[in-house]
Amino acid sequence: MYSDLNKLNTERDDKMVHGNIKWFGKKRRFGFVKSEGLSDIIVFYLPDSRGPELIFEPGDCASFDIIKRNKEPLAINVKKLT
């Protein structure tokens, strides 16, 4: 199911993964992101106190890193692409 996840985690060459926001709950600041070749990935967004809060909408393009948390993929460092 996440066969490419190990490859992404071991090849840390500062290349972020790109995908699209599938769903995002603004109140709880979490949702799902979809990247080609991978199943849906949970995303938690914690706003940076130094900048404006990002609001994600379904279909928004985003870049992110993937880590494993409890054996499941988790998108971190999510950035909205314009």
Q: What is the pLDDT of residues 32-59, one digit of tens each?
A: 999 988 889 998 877 766 666 678 899 9
Q: Please tell me the class of the 5-76 domain.
A: mainly beta
Q: Which amino acid is at 54?
A: L
Supply angle C-alpha 59, 49, 11, rounded to 5: 60
pLDDT given for residue 1 in this prediction: 40
Q: List the helix and strand counts (H, then E) for the chain.
A: 1, 5
Task: Give the count of beta carbons closer than 10 Å to the beta carbon of residue 46.
Answer: 10
CA–CA distance, 10 with 21 (Å, rounded to integer)? 24
pTM above 0.95, yes or no: no
